[in-house]
């Protein structure tokens, strides 16, 4: 790896211990307040943060059996890239996989040409070729990065990483922990199984048999006893939706998909594919454990353990330090244009192609990015289309700088984490749940649920809009939003 003065690439996923700081105490916290004002963008070095992401086959032993031929971006099989808010990231991507690929920077509001979607925002990066992603990071938080073609297999083999944009903390926490959740499709002898099955793709997804956090089975993390810990949770699984819960600590939600909320008490939270959740938790006394569970299973599944170590800190009454508010344009709800978007089973395909600025149309003949079956649709349009050789026209054409309120309607008996590229939603309300308003780039739709989200379409380009259960997207539940 080439290292510059501004390069920070995590060597594996581990706890970063922050300096101790006596946090101020008050009489409590609630969901009725607002985060602190937006912190001004700090002066950052004009020198970019440089990283080399070299996709190739690397053998690694994950679960104590034989080594698996993983596909990864770095010798540290789950790389962590850190960039300050307002800083520039320059990521050199080299592809030495047996097939073409790219890097999609999930949740980052970046220029369209940096979004990493083959044929839509860039040409594929073929084996033996390179591509450089170069953009400024406008928002703090935690963001996954992964491929956007044959993703079921590429992500299934481990091709993912974490981007952390720093600068949102109003006070330092006593520790900062990252937990990346992922399943693995392995048989009893720990060989890769098929990454997708038609039965799973047509329902809730094809689940893995081995659970992991930070690519390990039930890892044990460490944090200062009685300290206040920032716990960053991220789901990079192809399909599985986790219902995250904790035992052994009080906790508050401080961010959703990386964007700050006024701290509110944490009970459980459903975390779909590519979704993130930041918690502030008060560690127990030294020698005790905090356990992280997935409760969305017949029996609770232990995902990770955090051991309280060292002398007990004196932090007073639990009063979680908030993060600085997101620096995202507030949607103009009074003058918003309303759109209904239905997520359903397969409907009749449309013969439309994507028109290009030169007057031609885009005819996609790359089977790697397509699938032989279509099970799902957005507004009665499937992706890919009949014959799996073409892409549909945009599901919506949006006017730049206009505010839109989308009513996302799930007409199916399955859950769908719906992701928008290039923008961030403001979650408004649901007909089934009562959640505080919050910013998010991936909205989890429960069966038969209707959710209203709002955003200002201020980022021009053709943006992907899809379910992030990878098989659902690759079998039809994917489209394009065009902002002009």
pLDDT at 93: 98
Q: Could you say which of 293, 309, 325 is where a domain stops?
A: 309
Pick the closest to residue 469 from 195, 211, 269 (CA basis).
Answer: 195
Give the CATH number of the domain where residue 76 resides. 2.60.40.420
* Arithmetic mean of pLDDT, 24-43: 52
- Dihedral over Cα of 56, 59, 61, 66: its sign: positive
pLDDT range class, residue 41, cuts 50, 70, 90: low
- In-domain check, residue 72: yes
Residue with tokens 């790359």: 366
Closest by Cα among 268, 270, 237 to 251: 268
Residue at 4 is within a domain: no
How, if at all, do strands 301-309 and 220-224 pair?
parallel
- Half-sphere exposure for 406 (CA within 13 Å, toward CB): 27
Q: List Cα–Cα distances, 366 to 82, 111, 391, 433, in angstroms.
A: 34, 25, 11, 41
Tell me whether strands 337-345 and 376-378 are parallel, antiparallel or unpaired.
antiparallel
Judge if 33 and 103 occupy the same domain.
Answer: yes
Q: Please tell me whether residues 219 and 129 are part of one structural domain.
A: no
- Residue 35's pLDDT is 67
Is the per-residue pLDDT at 37 higher than 90?
no
Closest CA to 167 of 86, 243, 245, 98: 86
Q: What is the tens place of the pLDDT at every residue in 414-444?
A: 999 999 999 999 999 999 988 889 999 999 9
Q: Give the model confidence (pLDDT) of 374-397 as tens digits.
A: 899 999 988 864 433 466 789 999
Q: What is the pLDDT of residue 33?
A: 45
In this predicted structure, what is the pLDDT of residue 388? Answer: 36
Q: What distance in Å separates the CA atoms of residue 56 and residue 160, rounded to the nearest whole number?
A: 12
- At 369 the pLDDT is 66
Pair (337, 242) in one structural domain: no
Q: How confident is the model at residue 20 (pLDDT cuts 50, 70, 90)?
A: very low
> Are 280 and 378 part of one and the same domain?
no
User: Are 392 and 450 within one domain?
Assistant: yes
d(CA 365, CA 390): 7
- pLDDT score, position 382: 86
**What confidence tens digit (pLDDT) does each residue in 274-316 have?**
999 999 999 999 999 999 999 999 999 999 999 999 999 999 9
Cβ–Cβ < 8 Å for 151, 71: no
Among 146, 166, 186, which residue terminates a domain?
166
Q: What percent of the chain has pLDDT over 90?
A: 77
Question: What is the count of structural domains for the chain?
Answer: 3
- Domain residue limits at 67: 9-166
Residue 184 and residue 215 in one domain: yes
Does the pLDDT value for residue 334 go beyond 70?
yes
pLDDT of residue 372: 59
Residue 321 inside a domain? The answer is no
Residue-level pLDDT at 384? 64
- Tokens encoding 283: 């560690």
What is d(CA 478, CA 465) in angstroms, rounded to the nearest whole number? Answer: 6
For 77, 212, 270, 328, 410, the CA distances from 256, given in Å and listed in that order, are 25, 22, 11, 14, 21
Position 361 scores a pLDDT of 54
Residues 298 and 401 in one domain: no
Q: What torsion do the CA atoms of 166, 168, 173, 176 make, to the nearest 10 degrees? A: -40
Dmax (CA) for the chain in angstroms is 69
* Beta carbons of 424 and 440 less than 8 angstroms apart: yes
Residue at which a domain ends, from 148, 166, 184: 166
Whether 227 maps to a domain, the answer reads yes
CA–CA separation, 277 and 285 (whole Å)? 24
347: pLDDT confidence band, cut at 50, 70 and 90?
low
Residue 152 and residue 221 share a domain = no
Sign of CA dihedral 261, 265, 270, 273: positive
The single residue listed with the structure tokens 């401080």 is 254
Residue 316 falls within a domain, yes or no?
Answer: no
Say if residue 384 is preceded by a cis peptide, omega within 30 of 0. yes
* In a shared domain, residues 346 and 409: yes
Is it the case that residue 19 has pLDDT exceeding 50? no
Residue 16: inside a domain: yes
Residues 54 and 114 in one domain: yes
Residues 451 and 355 in one domain: yes
- The answer as to whether 88 is a domain residue is yes
- Give kind and range of the element (H or E) at residue 154: helix 151-156
| pLDDT of res. 43 | 67
Give the CA dihedral 107, 111, 114, 116, nearest 10 degrees: 50
Question: How far is residue 227's CA from residue 308's CA, in Å, rounded to a whole number?
Answer: 9
* pLDDT at residue 64 in the model: 84
Q: What tens digit of pLDDT does each residue of 244-284 get? A: 999 999 999 999 999 999 999 999 999 999 999 999 999 99
pLDDT of residue 97: 98
Mean pLDDT (the chain) is: 87
Q: What is the DSSP letter of 441?
A: S
**Same-domain status, 32 and 145:** yes
State yes or no: pLDDT of 13 exceeds 60.
no
HEC readout, 165-195: EECCECCCCCEEEEEEEEEECECCCCCECCC
């Amino acid at each position: 790896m080439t290292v510059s003065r501004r390069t920070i690439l995590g060597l594996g996923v581990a706890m970063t211990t922050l300096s101790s700081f006596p946090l101020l105490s008050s009489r409590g916290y609630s969901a009725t307040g607002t985060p602190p004002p937006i912190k001004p963008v700090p002066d950052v070095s004009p020198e970019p943060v440089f990283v080399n992401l070299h996709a190739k086959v690397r053998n690694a032993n994950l679960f104590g059996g034989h080594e698996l031929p993983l596909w990864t971006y770095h010798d540290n099989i789950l790389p962590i890239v850190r960039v300050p808010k307002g800083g520039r990231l320059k990521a050199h991507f080299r592809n030495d996989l047996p097939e073409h690929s790219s890097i999609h920077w999930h949740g980052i509001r970046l220029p369209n040409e940096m979004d990493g979607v083959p044929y839509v925002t860039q040409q594929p990066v073929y084996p033996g070729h390179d591509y450089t992603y170069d953009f400024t990071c406008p928002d703090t938080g935690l963001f996954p990065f992964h491929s956007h073609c044959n993703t079921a297999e590429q992500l299934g083999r481990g091709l993912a990483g974490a981007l952390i944009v720093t600068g949102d903390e109003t006070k330092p926490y006593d520790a900062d922990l990252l937990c990346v959740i992922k399943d693995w499709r392995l048989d009893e002898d720990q060989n890769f199984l098929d990454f997708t099955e038609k039965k799973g793709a047509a329902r809730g997804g094809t689940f893995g048999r081995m659970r992991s956090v930070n690519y390990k089975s039930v890892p044990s993390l460490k944090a200062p006893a009685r300290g206040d810990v920032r716990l960053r949770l991220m789901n990079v699984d192809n399909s599985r939706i986790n219902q995250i819960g904790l035992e052994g600590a009080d906790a508050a939600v401080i961010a959703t998909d990386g964007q700050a909320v006024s701290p509110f008490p944490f009970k459980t939270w459903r975390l779909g594919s590519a979704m993130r959740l930041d918690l502030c938790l008060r560690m127990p006394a030294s020698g005790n454990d905090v356990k992280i569970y997935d409760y969305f299973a017949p029996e609770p599944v232990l995902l990770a353990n955090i051991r309280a170590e060292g002398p007990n800190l004196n932090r007073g009454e639990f009063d979680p330090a908030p993060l600085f508010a997101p620096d995202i344009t507030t949607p103009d709800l009074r003058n918003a244009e309303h759109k209904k978007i239905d997520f359903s089973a397969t409907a009749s395909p449309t013969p439309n192609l994507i028109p290009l600025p030169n007057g031609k149309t885009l005819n996609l003949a790359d089977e790697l990015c397509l699938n032989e079956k279509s099970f799902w649709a957005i507004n009665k349009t499937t992706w890919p289309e009949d014959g799996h050789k073409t892409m549909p026209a945009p599901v919506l054409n949006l006017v730049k700088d206009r505010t839109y309120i989308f009513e996302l309607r799930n007409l199916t008996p399955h859950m769908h984490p719906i992701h928008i590229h290039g923008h961030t939603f403001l979650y408004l309300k649901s007909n089934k749940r009562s959640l505080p308003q919050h910013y998010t780039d991936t909205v989890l739709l429960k069966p038969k649920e209707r959710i209203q989200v709002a955003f200002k379409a201020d980022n021009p380009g053709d943006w992907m809009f899809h379910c992030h259960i990878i098989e659902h997207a690759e079998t039809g539940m994917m489209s394009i939003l065009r902002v002009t």
